[in-house]
Amino acid sequence: MADGRYYITTAIDYVNSRPHIGTAFEKIAADVLARYHRFKGDDTFFAMGNDEHSLNVEKEARKQGMEPLAYCDEMEGQFTEIWQSLSLSYDRFIRTTDPDHAKAVGELFRRIEARGDIYKDVYRGLYCVSCENFYQEKDLVDGLCPVHKTPAEEIEEENYFFKLSAYAEKLLAHIEANEDFIRPEIRKNEIVNVIKSGLIDVSVSRSTRGWGIPLPSDDSHVVYVWFDALINYITAAGFPDDDEKFARYWPADAHIIGKDITRFHCIIWPAMLMSAGIALPRTVYAHGFITVDGQKISKSIGNVIDPRELVDEFGADAVRYYFMREVSFEQDGDFSKRQLLVRHNADLANDLGNLLNRLAGMTKKYIGDVFPTLDAKEDDGILRDLAKDVACRYAGHIENYQFNDALRAVWELVRRGNQYVEESTPWTLAKDPEKRARLETVLYNVAESLRITACLTYPVMPAKAAELLTALGVTEDPAAMRLDTHTVWRTEPEAGQKLAVTQPLFPRLEEEATA
C-alpha cells in the first residue's frame, strides 16, 4: 500500500455455473481486506467481476438456446445477487464484455506487439477444454489435466504467441527483489521452480471469429481467454483512458486468487506488464481451497454448495465469520455445516451475544436506565490492557492475511469479558451501596470491551457489528470509524449514551434445523 490508498482485486469468475462456497471464500476474504483498509482510512478500491469470453460459457449459452451475451447478462444478475447477499462492498464489478475492457485489451496487446513480443506461428500441443489452458506433456498427471483430471486434447492451429520465454530472468529477479510479490512462501517456491525449469512462449489468440475480443491487428483471431481476463485488473483501475485514476490506484496492492491459477498471475501476467512497460502488482496472494468431505468442489462429484442457501439459513455475517475464523487462508479447509452451527452457537450466540445480554440485564437491574460510568480509582485495567494488545495483534494478522488468527485474538477479549464478569461478581457488588462506583466501573469496562469488539469485527461482520454498536448506544456511523482512534479505550461514554438491546444479537439455532 502507498500514499494512503489500497487497490485489491479477486479473480474474475467463469459464468458457466453459479458461484459456490469456494468462490465465496475468496470474495469474503477480499472484502474483509477492503473493509479493513477503509477502517484504516485508506482510499480503497475493490474490484471483482465475471470472465465471460470462455468457450465453456459460450457452450453453456448455446446449450440453453441463448446468445452468449444474453446468457452472460442473466448470469451477472445471479452472481451479483449472491455477492450482495454476502455484503460484499466491491467498487467495480467488471465484465470482460464491458466496452472499456475491450479497449484496454486492445491497447495492451498493441503495446506488447510494438515491443516485438508478439509473433504468429502454428500451435501443436495439448489443450484442456475445461480450464481453457495449453499444457506441456510434463505438466500432465498420468496424461491428464492436473486440475480437471480429464484427458487433454491434441490440437493444431495457427495462433499468435507472446514471447514469455524472454522474461524468465526478469521474473526471477523481480521475485527475488520483492519478497511479498508472491504469497504465501510455498506458492513463491513453486513458481520459482516452474520458471527455472524453463518457460515456453504462450499462445495469446484463437483462430476464430467467434465469441471473444478480436485482435487489433487481425480480426480473424480473438484474444485468448486468459490473456483477455488478466487485463481486467488494469481496466478496472482506469487503463488506458483515465490517467488520473490509473495513476492513483495502479499498481494493485493485492491480487487475491486461488492456488490453481498462480502460473497465469505470477508468470504470464507480470511478463505481459513488463513487456507493456506497466508496473507489476505488489502482491499476488494464492489461497487454499475449500473442500467438502475432503474433496475439491465439483459439479461432477455433486458436492457444490450454494452460498446463498447458507446465508438464508445462518445469516450473512455468521457465514462470513465462519469462513474467516474456521479456515486458514493459506491452506485448504474442509467445509462442515455442523461446524458452522457450532461456531454460530458457541462463538457468536454464547460468547458474544451472551456477554451483551448479561451487560444489558445487569445494567438495567442494578443501576437503571443510565449508562455506567468509569471511576479511575476503582478500575483494574484488565480489559483495557487486553483490548490494546488485541487491537495491535489483530491489525498485524489482517495485514498478513491471517484472518483466523485475527478473530482468535478478538475472541480472547470476548471470552475474557465473560470471565471478568464472573470474577468481578456485579451481583454481589450491587448489594452494597458503598460499592456503587466499583459496580459501575465493572459494567463500563464490559461495555467498552464490547464497543472495541464491534469495531474490530466490523470488517468481518458489518451488519452485526453495527447492530452491536447500536445496542451499546453508540451513535457514530460504523463506516466512519477509524482503526487508530476507535479501538482506543475510552474513559467516558458518549453524551446521553444508553444501552438499547432490543433482541438477541445472535439467536441460538437449534441443531435439528440445520441437520
Say what the pLDDT of residue 299 is. 78
Domain ranges for the chain, please list them.
5-287, 337-514
Q: Which CATH superfamily is domain 5-287 in?
A: HUPs (3.40.50.620)
Q: Residue 251 — φ and ψ, nearest 5°? A: -80, 155
Say what the pLDDT of residue 133 is. 67
Q: What is the pLDDT of residues 71-123, one digit of tens each?
A: 999 999 999 999 999 999 999 999 999 999 999 999 999 999 999 999 999 87
Q: Record the pTM.
A: 0.94
* Pairing, β 13-14 against β 5-10: unpaired
CATH of region 337-514, choose from 3.40.50.1100, 1.10.730.10, 3.40.50.720, 3.30.460.80: 1.10.730.10
- Ranking 22-26, 205-209, 353-357, 426-430 by mean pLDDT, the lowest is 205-209
Mean pLDDT of the chain: 94
Residue 2: pLDDT band by 50, 70, 90 thresholds? low
Say what the pLDDT of residue 72 is. 97
* Dihedral class, residue 505 (left if φ above 0, else alpha if ψ from -120 to 50, else beta): alpha
Judged against a pLDDT cut of 70, whether residue 514 lies above it is answered with: no
| Cβ atoms of residues 118 and 110 within 8 Å | no
| Cβ atoms of residues 438 and 375 within 8 Å | yes
Sign of CA dihedral 403, 408, 414, 417: negative
**Rounded CA separation 127/145 (Å):** 9
Judged against a pLDDT cut of 80, whether residue 394 lies above it is answered with: yes
Label each residue of 347-371 as H, E or C.
HHHHHHHHHHHHHHHHHHHHCCCCC
Say what the pLDDT of residue 513 is. 46
